Structure 1
Amino acid sequence: MNILQALFFPPEQPGGVSSMVPYILERFQKLGWEMDLFSIPKRVRSKGSEEVSFQTFDYTQFSGNPLVDKYMQTYKDYIWWTRLRMSRSYDVIHAHHPIAALAMKHIYPDTPLVMTIHSSYESELMLNGKISEGGTEHRFLTSIYRELESKVDLIMTASESFRSYLAQHMDQPEKIKVIPNGFDEKRFKPIAHENAVPQLITVCRLVPAKGLDVLLRACAELKKRGCPFVLHIIGDGPVRNELEQLAQSLDLYDDIIFYGYMLHPEEFMPFFDVFVLPSRAEAFGSVFAEAALCWLALVGTNVGGISEQIQDGVNGLLVPVEDHDALADALEKVVSDPIFRHNLARAAWDKAKKAYSLQRVIAQLQKVYTNILPAAE
């Protein structure tokens, strides 16, 4: 059996899809399975011109909107690039982005297609203040889900909470299969260390959806309480300047280090003590599992896939969204009590090793790929 893993852009960024798919491919190849990875380069722009249509809605009703037009052009570009570069057929295609799924089904209508929906583009855009709920862009993007449902043989996602989100946009959400993300434990090497000052770390794109403004306000409160710490922020994005300015206004600039983008933050994380990310939404939150495998104590918001990974007070701490005082309270607990912090980190590591192993994902996907052939026939 030969399988194609169809991504959107190349797997360059840490976290999410990029943390898992290349390692899945490597494991399957070691097991003797034929598997390739395909994506569209970021340099490909405005090349596609092939006409496309949807079965479940007329996309032209949204034409003229810049975001919609860009989305449709990218869909056509993906088709153009696939026709240009693809020279073989596959038994099964596994897509990891709506555009990849739609393009592959357009070109290979008879090939069994499975898809993992990893996140909600429209939710991210709303949280980042780019679109409004119920607006043209939101209605277009949410319409894509039923289109996928009509064309894909099996839809998967990484958390029960995200399946619940998808349910409002699909006719048969009970058919969605949940396979939590898995991680190659060999990438993560916990290191015994003792930091004189507790070291906090967060790893994410610097966008409003990640709630780093809330984190900075919580850190300001933590500093007022006399709790020593250093916060390390790994990642880059459009709100970096705003966050740096906020840190200065909160008299935090000397307590925070902005690193920018880093290709392999998991090599850096084991030297820290606490991973914290107060996301406003998260379909799964792969970076929490990665931090757990680095033996860090976890602090996150009670949303989406984060709340499925963390049992409050057992293997991490959960706080309400947008509540910087509650976040400061949680951080004070882990900063001021090293034994409690150690116990949380050990419990998080134990759960991540058992629940989020890459081997478990491989076994589940083997069944999916094997079963989809007779199902499609």
Structure 2
Amino acid sequence: MNILQALFFPPEQPGGVSSMIPYIQDRFLKLGWGMELFSLPKRVRNKGQEEVVFQTFDYTEYIGNSLIDKYIQTYKDYVWWTRMRIKKPYDIIHAHHPIAALVMKQLFPDTPLVVTVHSSYERELILNGKIKEGGPEHRFLTSIYRELESKADKLMTVSESFRSYLTPYVEWPERIKVIPNGFDEKRFKPIAHENEVTQLITVCRLVPAKGLDVLLHACAELKQRGCPFVLHIIGDGPIRKELEDLAQELDLYNDIIFYGYMLHPEEFMPFFDVFVLPSRAEAFGSVFAEAALCWLALVGTNVGGIAEQIEDGVNGLLVPPENAAALADALEKVVADPTYRYNLARAGWDKAKKVYSLQRVISQLKKVYNEVKAKPLQE
């Protein structure tokens, strides 16, 4: 069977999807399956001209909205690039972004389409203060889910919580299959080490949705309690300067290291002790599984896919979002007690190895692909 994995971002970009799909491709190729990756290069801008038509709603009422106009133009660009580059048929197309999915179904209507919805663009925009809940951008972006449902032969997502999130926007949420992300354990190499001062690390894009402002306030409280630590922040984004200013304001600048963007943080993580990320929302939170495979103790918020990965007090610690005091309490537990921290990390590693193995994902995807290929296309 020959399968096309249709991405939005090129595979060298950071993030759970981009970091996972090339490893999935490698495993399938070793099994004798054909699999290729496809994405839209960043250099392709304002090339597409074809009209966009959605089956389940009329988007033309949103014309003139800058964000929606940009989304539609990106759709047109994806059409233009796909027509230019794809010249052969595939048995199945597996798309990992709504634009990729809808374009592929438009251009190859007779090819079975599998779609994985990995995250919520509209929720990220709301949390980052870019759009308002219930506003035109929100209504447009959530309408896309019903369009995906109408076009996909199989609709999937990465966590039970995100399937619940999608429920109001689709007709048959019970048909959405959940396959959590999987990771090639060979990429992660835990290293025995003794840090005199507890090393905290977070890896994310520096945007409001990730809650790093809450983390800095929690670290300020931790410092006041006399708990020594160093916080390492890997990632970049629009609020980096704001976070650096906040660190200075909270008298934390000497306790924090801002690294900027790093392509393979998993090569760096094993030297640290605790992974912490107080996200305000997270469809899955791939970086938690990656940190667990590096044998780090996990501290996260009780939201979305994070809460499905962490059982509080067993393989990590969960705190409410937006609660710096509760986060400081959790961090104090893992900073003050190395044995407790070690036990949490070991339990997290055990679960990640069992539940988030790449082999599990390969097995589940093989079953989905065979089922989709065997059934008649949707009317």
Which TM-score bucket, shorter chain as reference? over 0.9
Aligned to 1:55: 55
> Cα deviation per residue 1:263-304 (whole Å; 9 max; x = unaligned)?
000000000000000000000000000000000000000000
Compute the displacement of 1:374 (Å).
2.0
Aligned to 2:115: 115
Give runs of aligned pairs for residues 174-185 of structure 1, distance below 5 A. 174-185=174-185
CA separation in 1, counterparts of 2:188 and 2:101?
31
- AA aligned to 1:150 is S
Is 1:144 aligned to residue 147 of structure 2? no
> Cα deviation per residue 1:84-134 (whole Å; 9 max; x = unaligned)?
011111000000000000100010011000000000000000000000001
- AA aligned to 2:195 is N
> Cα deviation per residue 1:314-352 (whole Å; 9 max; x = unaligned)?
000000000000000000000000000000000000000
Is 1:17 aligned to residue 17 of structure 2? yes
Compute the displacement of 1:12 (Å).
2.4
Is 1:215 aligned to residue 223 of structure 2? no
Aligned to 2:88: 88
CA separation in 1, counterparts of 2:130 and 2:96?
23
Q: Secondary structure at the match of 1:376?
A: coil
CA separation in 2, counterparts of 1:13 and 1:110?
30
- Normalized against structure 1, the TM-score is what? 0.99
CA separation in 1, counterparts of 2:88 and 2:216?
51
Q: Secondary structure at the match of 2:106?
A: helix
Aligned to 1:235: 235
CA separation in 2, counterparts of 1:12 and 1:332?
36
Aligned to 1:269: 269
Aligned to 2:46: 46
Aligned to 2:257: 257
- AA aligned to 1:6 is A
Compute the displacement of 1:193 (Å).
0.3
Compute the displacement of 1:137 (Å).
0.3
Give runs of aligned pairs for residues 1-377 of structure 1, distance below 5 A. 1-377=1-377
CA separation in 1, counterparts of 2:9 and 2:91?
23
Compute the displacement of 1:13 (Å).
2.8
Q: Secondary structure at the match of 2:82?
A: helix
CA separation in 2, counterparts of 1:316 and 1:39?
35
Compute the displacement of 1:196 (Å).
0.2
Kindly report structure 1 stretches of 4+ aligned residues shifted beyond 4 Å.
Answer: none
- AA aligned to 2:30 is K
> Cα deviation per residue 1:227-255 (whole Å; 9 max; x = unaligned)?
00000000000000000000000000000
Compute the displacement of 1:14 (Å).
2.7
Compute the displacement of 1:3 (Å).
0.2
CA separation in 2, counterparts of 1:86 and 1:296?
42
Q: Is the 8 A contact 1:215 1:324 kept in 2?
A: yes
Compute the displacement of 1:164 (Å).
0.1
CA separation in 1, counterparts of 2:224 and 2:301?
22
Compute the displacement of 1:29 (Å).
0.4
- AA aligned to 2:68 is V
CA separation in 2, counterparts of 1:138 and 1:311?
32
- AA aligned to 2:335 is V
- AA aligned to 1:246 is L
Compute the displacement of 1:18 (Å).
1.4
- AA aligned to 1:253 is Y
- AA aligned to 1:374 is A
- Normalized against structure 2, the TM-score is what? 0.99
CA separation in 1, counterparts of 2:100 and 2:376?
19
- AA aligned to 1:265 is P
Compute the displacement of 1:52 (Å).
1.8
Task: Could you tell me which runs of 5 or more consecutive residues in structure 1 were left unpaired when the two chains were aligned.
Answer: none
Q: Is the 8 A contact 1:45 1:77 kept in 2?
A: yes
- AA aligned to 1:134 is G
Q: Is the 8 A contact 1:274 1:298 kept in 2?
A: yes
CA separation in 2, counterparts of 1:47 and 1:198?
51
Q: Is the 8 A contact 1:200 1:229 kept in 2?
A: yes
Q: Is the 8 A contact 1:153 1:376 kept in 2?
A: no
Q: Is the 8 A contact 2:179 2:364 kept in 1?
A: yes
Q: Is the 8 A contact 2:9 2:18 kept in 1?
A: no
- RMSD (Å), alpha carbons: 0.6
Compute the displacement of 1:51 (Å).
1.2
CA separation in 1, counterparts of 2:67 and 2:348?
40
Q: Secondary structure at the match of 2:129?
A: coil
Task: Could you tell me which runs of 5 or more consecutive residues in structure 2 were left unpaired when the two chains were aligned.
Answer: none
> Cα deviation per residue 1:197-232 (whole Å; 9 max; x = unaligned)?
000000000000000000000000000000000000
Q: Secondary structure at the match of 1:220?
A: helix
CA separation in 2, counterparts of 1:197 and 1:99?
46
CA separation in 2, counterparts of 1:56 and 1:293?
42
Size of the aligned set, in residue pairs, is: 377
- AA aligned to 2:144 is I
CA separation in 2, counterparts of 1:130 and 1:376?
42
- AA aligned to 1:158 is V
